Amino acid sequence: MITPEEKYLKSHSTPQSEALAWVEAQTHIRTNYPRMLSGAVQGRFLTMMVEMTGAKSILEIGAFTGYSSICMAYGLPKDGHIDSLEINDELEDLILEGWQRAGVADKIHLHIGDAKETLKSMRDKRFDLVYIDANKREYVDYYDLVIDLLNPGGCILADDVLWDGKMWQDPVPSDKQTQGIAAFNDKVASDPRVEVVILPIRDGLSIIRKR
């Protein structure tokens, strides 16, 4: 159920493309957790972040149904590329069809499998932008694996870092997903290699810039 705030934000932001609307509709029809979708407002933000940073090489950890990768691909220059990681092979057909409909399939390579194992095979790659929206229990692991792959001045965007307001509960809930996000936020805030700001977009989005 869309809130009045979300309705207002969406109505006053640049509308999503027909391809993105198709992916959104199919996500509601074909998956059990459609709220995991980035959505039109955050999707537009991702497009603009790519455009404003001039990123050419992007790493996405957690493709879900391909919505966010389309948004980032829209912001890429002609020679830009995205490596998109997803563990659920049942989503592959939906992801690839969405990319084709959006006209960005040639800019994105899908890696199906465990993200941590895939990242270990990418040690020779370098990225301008990393988008993390996958298993919350493993955010710290992803961060440790990608920080050295990120070019100086590059950015990591991490989704869901406020986790339904659980980060400021006292005590912080003890479930593994909440504890994973809390550990990630603490680690990033104390890491002298980066600077960070958390924006209250949807469920919290960290913008982490490597010095």
Question: What are the pLDDT digits (tens) for 143-200?
Answer: 999 999 999 999 999 999 999 999 999 999 999 999 999 999 999 999 999 999 999 9
Could you tell me the residue range of the domain that residue 193 belongs to? 4-210
pLDDT at site 186: 98
Total domains in the fold of the chain: 1
The answer to whether the bond into 200 is cis (omega within 30° of 0) is no
Q: What is the pLDDT of residue 35?
A: 87
Long-range pairs, 1-5, Cβ under 8 A, ≥24 = none
Listing from the earlier edge strand, what are the strands of the sheet with 127-132? 108-112, 81-86, 57-61, 127-132, 150-159, 205-210, 194-199
pTM of the complete model: 0.95
pLDDT of residue 6: 86
Supply the pLDDT for residue 164.
92
CATH number of 187's domain: 3.40.50.150
pLDDT of residue 81: 98
β-partners of residue 205 are: 159, 199
